[in-house]
Structure 1
Amino acid sequence: MRPWKLLGLAGLAGVAATGAVLARSERQRRALTPDDVRTRLHERHAALAAVPDPAPPTADELRAGRTHRAARLLRRR
């Protein structure tokens, strides 16, 4: 019976810890003003817009197996 009690207590401790983490993140989120949120979103967008999209793989790269799913599709044809 003792292992089950320990397992139950460990589960309760895990639930309490998860609740504490969620409450902390919620408090941090609510502390932001709408202007702060808008500024962060604009910063994220600018950072993502600065990163170029990767070039699609060439047929040789696909045949060499560097992109597995696409290589399998080419072999079927």
Structure 2
Amino acid sequence: MAKRWVKWLGMAGLAGVAATGAVIARQERERRSYTPDQVRARLRERHAEAEEE
């Protein structure tokens, strides 16, 4: 019985690692899809918002 518990725990851990990797890969693709001009514009917007506060 204990072996099954350990087996399921290991499988759940692997599924969690895979899901985390997928999320990170998606975020990286989104980040890399910006052009340098878009990145500059976003940084300037964020800076202006921070100055207002």
TM-score by length of 1: 0.66
State the partner residue of 1:13: 15
Cα drift, residue 14 of structure 1: 0.3
Please state how far the C-alpha of 1:47 moved relative to its aligned partner.
Answer: 0.2
Q: Deviations over 1:17-39 (max 9, x none)?
A: 00000000000001000000000
Q: Per the alignment, in what secondary structure is the counterpart of residue 8 of structure 1?
A: helix
Deviations 1:17-75 (A, max 9, x none): 00000000000001000000000000000000001xxxxxxxxxxxxxxxxxxxxxxxx
Determine the C-alpha separation between the residues in 1 that align with 2:33 and 2:50.
25
> Unpaired runs of 5+ in structure 1?
52-77
* 1:11 Cα deviation after fit: 0.2
Quote the residue 2:47 is aligned against: 45
- Structure 2: which 5+ residue stretches go unaligned? none
- Residue type of the alignment partner of 1:44: R
Higher helix share: 2
Question: Which structure has the greater CA radius of gyration?
Answer: 1
Between Structure 1 and Structure 2, how many residues are aligned?
51
Q: 1-side partners of 2:29 and 2:5: how far apart?
A: 36
Higher relative contact order (CA 8 A, sep 6+): 1
